[in-house]
Structure 1
């Protein structure tokens, strides 16, 4: 699903306060039938208003329930009286092996519901401020702006990670890898 995040901004122009709205988008995954969604924290953290486009169901408002910036993960909830949302199965990401094929669904550059295929190419441990070790999964699947918060699925269609960021090494042989937060629920 597509997440539209609007942030209200105020700036001073010619000694007058001008109110504007900055909009961004990302992707998320419904993880239960009541409309709980996993996404990247940077997609929703500064948003004043969230609108979620749920395929074949329409647009819904949402609110952030929890967010953890060091892991770049957030849990949001659809604000709806409707229920019975189709949820994905969550896998144990520890059982996903390096070299295994993975699938990324996202909204790169606003092109919703786009699928890219790659392989799990590595596991990276990042220490956080409070001595918690965070594991990120590295993939060679094509990921671009708008894929943030999108699901990484294994071959069984189970969720193994949430797209977080693109890491690029700048040298004469440009090397780009994408990372998703590992899910161990």
Structure 2
């Protein structure tokens, strides 16, 4: 494998800067649930995983509702490997958003800076940081492909105002932040 010894391009410098600034704000979420088999009516344990973003120093974390839905236990792991049991705070089920909370000493948590999504533009570069397949704090980049999409789900449910991107997102990325380059 060959590497250019000249350093990073301006675009690569932006990518690295975004990652270094925000990767410590992304958390790995794991869940434990008990489900019932519909045929034999036997209970069995399941585990799930996703991502989230720390939104304040008080320990509030924003994620997708489907990441924590029906979970009896929600665990959060920070960038430093420290794990916590999270408490459910609230959710907007229709828009697939949930807030959970962990308890931590002031100054340890690194919250993301929220942006105004009404200022997004099609073609703008964005980054996704998450935990695809359990691989913690993985970053991908792409562009905004479209804005204000709607997605019909089972049960006549529709999620509106979706931001369509072409950055690679995989199982485990759900709940992680979508980041612009500013």
* TM-score normalised by structure 1 residue count: 0.73
How many residues matched?
Answer: 151
2:66 maps to 1:42: yes
Flag the structure with higher strand content: 1
Take 1:12 and 1:68, find their aligned partners in 2: how far apart are those partners?
27
Name the counterpart of 2:4.
none
- TM-aligned CA distance change 1:12 to 1:42, over 3 Å: closer
Out of 75, 99, 109, which is 1:51 matched to? 75
Name segments (4+ residues, structure 1) moved above 6 Å.
none
Look up the match of 1:68: 92
Would the alpha carbon gap of residues 127 and 81 (structure 1) be closer, same or farther in structure 2, given more than 3 Å must change? closer
CA–CA separation in structure 2 for the residues paired with 1:23 and 1:11: 15
The CA deviation at 1:19 is 4.9
The answer for the alignment partner of 1:99 in structure 2 is: 123
Deviations 1:120-139 (A, max 9, x none): 110124399xxx98311000
2:177 alignment partner, one of 133, 138, 151? 151
Q: Which residue of 2 aligns with 1:82?
A: 105
1:141 is aligned to 2:164: no
The aligned runs of 1:113-132 (5 Å cut-off) are: 113-126=137-150
Measure, in 2, the Cα distance between the counterparts of 1:150 and 1:93: 15
Instruction: Indicate how the Cα distance of structure 1 residues 86 and 7 shifts in structure 2: closer, same or farther if over 3 A, else same.
Output: same
Q: Residues 35 and 83 of structure 1 are in contact (CA less than 8 Å); yes or no, is this contact kept in structure 2?
A: no
Structure 2 CA distance for partners of 1:101 and 1:127, relative to 1, 3 Å: closer
Q: Distance in 2 between matches of 1:88 and 1:20?
A: 36
Match of 1:3 in 2: 29
Question: Which is richer in helix?
Answer: 2
